[in-house]
Chain A
C-alpha cells in the first residue's frame, strides 16, 4: 500500500485531519531544508510536500516565487533534491510528496523522473500546471511505480471536470480554496463550504485544502470541512523574514526559524485536532 493512502486511512480511523506543510527545497539551502523537514515531522506534520523550485512558477504568489529565487540562486538542482529526498526517507516515515511544475519532469524524461523519485522514496507528485487532459502518460508511469498523482480541483472547476478529477486523482484531491495563486490569506473563502460539497458529491477520496491557509484560524476553518490542510506560504514567510540573501549564499538564522516553525506548526496541529474542530 502507498504511504499516502495508509496515512489517510489511519487518520480517518482516528477521526483526525492531516496536516500537510509545503516547503521549497533548497530555500535557502538543502542542509536547512533537511533540518526543517525533520522539525516539521516532530511538530506534527502528517505528510510533507517537497517543492521543486522553478524559474516560472505561474501558480504561485510572491512568497513562493521568492523562495524559488532563493533556492535557485543558491545552486539547487533536481539531482540534489532527489538525494535530499533519499536522505529524508531514511529518517522519517511520513509520506513525501514532490510538488513540481511540469517542465522539469518533461525535460528529465517522464519515466526517468518517476523512477528517480520512486527510488528516493517519494510517494506522490503534485503538478500544478498539469490538468488531467495532459496527465495520462505521467499517471500511467507513476502507477507502475506505485506512486500517487494528486490532481487539483479549483472553485472554477465545472461539474463535468469535477467528475473526471474525482475519477482520476489518487491519494487525495488537492482543493484549491481560492480563485487565485498561492499565498497566505486572512480568512478562507465563504464559498469553500459549497465548493467542497461539490467535490464530496463525486468522490470518497480524502480532500485536502490548500492556497491561502495562513495559520491556526484559517486551518481550523478548513479542517472543519476537509480531511487535510496544506500550508505553504505562511511557513515560508518565517524563513523569508529570517534570511538575508548575500551575493553567493544566503544567511539564515536556523535555530530561530526552527523554533518559530515548530511552535507555528504545533499551534496549527492543535487547531485542527478533533476536540477543537466542531
Chain B
C-alpha cells in the first residue's frame, strides 16, 4: 500500500476522495509524457516568449539599494509578465497540458484574482471553457479582477461557504472537480494540492529561477547570496528557489504574512506558526486547532490569505535548506509605498512582503552581498484597498 512517489520527505501525498484518484494518476502520466516531449516544450517556450513576454528583466534596484545602505538588491520582474504576475507561467503550462489531454473544461480557484485572471487568459488563448471559484470576501476586495475574468470569457463562481476566501474557494473547486472530473482539468494555482500538482506547478514556475541564474551570472558574474520571495501557497518562491537548491552558498528565505502580528493569532504564517496537518490533499504545515480543524488565515494580501503551504516548502523548512520569516500587514504596506516612491514600481501587496523583509535584511549586510527579490506581481489590483487602508491609518 505504501507509495514512494509524490512525497517530499514526509510531506505531500494524495489525500483526496477516491473519485479523483484516477484523474490524478492520469494527470501524472500525461505530465510525465509531455514534460520531456520536445513539441510540447517548444510550444510552451513559444508562448512564454511571444505571449507572456519572457524573459522578464532582473532589474538592479539602485535607489532602494542606496536607501537601505547595505547589500545590492535585484528585482526579478515577474510583475512585467502578461496579466501582471508570475501566475501565468503555471496557468499556461497547465492549460496547454489539459488541451493535450483532451479536456474540454478548465476550473481554478483564486484568491487575489491573479491566478483566476491568468487561467481565464490561458483558457481564452487556447480555446477552452473556463470557470473560476472565488471567495465572496475576495470578490468584494478584488472587484476589478472579477470583471477582468468575465471579460476574458470565464464564469466567476462566488463562494459563500466557510471563510469566503481562498481556502473555501479551493474546497469548492475540488468539489466541482469531483463532479466533473471526466471532462475537466483543475488548474491549481500554487505548489499545493495532491501529488502531482506541487511538482507540476514547481516545474512550470522554475523558469523564474532558471532565468534569474543566467541573468545574475551576467550582471554579477556569480550566484546571489540571498533569494527572497513571499510565500502564501508558495509558487513564486518555489519557482525562484528550486533551480538554486543544490547551490548551498545561496541562502533562500520565504516570507509569510504575519497579518496583525503572529502573537495576535491573526496571520497566515503556516510555516512560522503552524503545525503538521493535511489540507487540500497534501500533508504540510497548516494553521489548525488541536482537533485538526483548519483555522481561518488573515492577511491584508488576498494572495497570501491561506492557512496552508506547499509540501515542498515544509520539506525545505524541515531540512533547513530554506528559512522562513513573516512580515506584518503594516510592514508590507510601508514597503508597498517605499518601492513605489523609490523605484516607480508599485508591487503587489504579496510581493511587498518580500520587499519589507529585505528592508530589514539589506542594511545588516555588506555592500558586496547580493540579494534577489522575486517581485511576483504588480500592485494595480491593490491600489483601492491600499488607499482605504492608508486613509484609515492616517485618522
Q: Which of A's residues lie within 8 Å of B, judged by CB? A: 54-62, 65, 69, 72, 77-78, 101-108, 128-136, 139, 151-158, 161, 165, 168, 176, 178-181
What B residues does A58 contact at CB under 8 A? 16-17, 171, 174-175, 178, 280
Query: 1/0 per residue B1-33: CB within 8 Å of A?
Result: 111000000000111111111110100000000
Report B-chain residues with C-beta under 8 Å of the C-beta of A176. 17-19
Q: B248 near A: Cβ within 8 Å?
A: no
The list of the 7 closest CB pairs from A to B, nearest first, reads A107-B292, A136-B1, A180-B179, A154-B19, A104-B292, A103-B292, A55-B293
* Residues of B participating in the A interface, judged by any CB pair closer than 8 Å: 1-3, 13-23, 25, 161-162, 167-168, 171, 174-175, 178-182, 275-281, 283, 288, 290-295
Q: Give the distance in Å from the alpha carbon of A179 to the alpha carbon of B168 in the complex.
A: 21
CB of A56 within 8 A of CB of B162, answer: yes
**Closest residue on chain B to residue A100 by CB atoms:** B292
CA distance A61 to B276 in the complex (A): 27
Name the prevailing secondary structure of the B interface residues.
Answer: mixed
- B93 CB → nearest A CB, Å: 25
Q: Are A158 and B22 in contact (CB under 8 A)?
A: yes
For A65, the closest partner residue in chain B by CB is B161
A105 to B275, CA, bound (A): 14
Given the complex, which residues of A lie within 8 Å of B278, measured CB to CB?
A: 101-103, 106, 129
A/B interface sample: 7 pairs, CB < 8 A: A62-B161, A107-B276, A139-B1, A152-B18, A153-B18, A154-B19, A179-B182
Q: Which residue of B lies closest to A130 (CB)?
A: B15
B291 pairs with A134, CB closer than 8 A: no
Q: A72-B293, A106-B283, A179-B182 are in contact. Are A133 and B14 (CB under 8 A)?
A: yes
Q: Which residues of A contact B291 (CB under 8 A)?
A: 77-78, 104, 107-108
Task: Determine whether the beta carbon of B292 is less than 8 Å from that of A106.
Answer: yes
Q: A103-B277, A103-B288, A133-B1 are in contact. List 10 more A-B contacts (CB 8 A).
A: A106-B276, A129-B278, A129-B281, A132-B1, A133-B13, A136-B2, A161-B21, A165-B18, A180-B19, A180-B179
Q: In the complex, are the beta carbons of B21 and A56 less than 8 A apart?
A: no
CB proximity of A38 to chain B, nearest CB, Å? 26
Contact: B178 with A181, CB < 8 Å? Answer: yes
Q: Once the chains bind, are B1 and A103 in contact (CB under 8 Å)?
A: no
Which B residues are CB-close (under 8 A) to A128?
A: 17
Taking the closest CB of chain B, its distance from the CB of A51, in whole angstroms, is 14
The answer to whether A134 touches B21, judged by C-beta atoms less than 8 angstroms apart, is no
Q: Are B17 and A152 in contact (CB under 8 A)?
A: yes
Q: How far is the CB of B195 from chain A (nearest CB, A)?
A: 10
**In the complex, what's the smallest C-beta–C-beta distance from B193 to chain A, in angstroms?**
11
A56–B182 contact, CB under 8 A? no
Instruction: Enumerate chain A residues within 8 angstroms of B1, measured Cβ to Cβ.
Output: 132-133, 135-136, 139, 168
CB distance from A136 to the nearest CB of B (A): 4
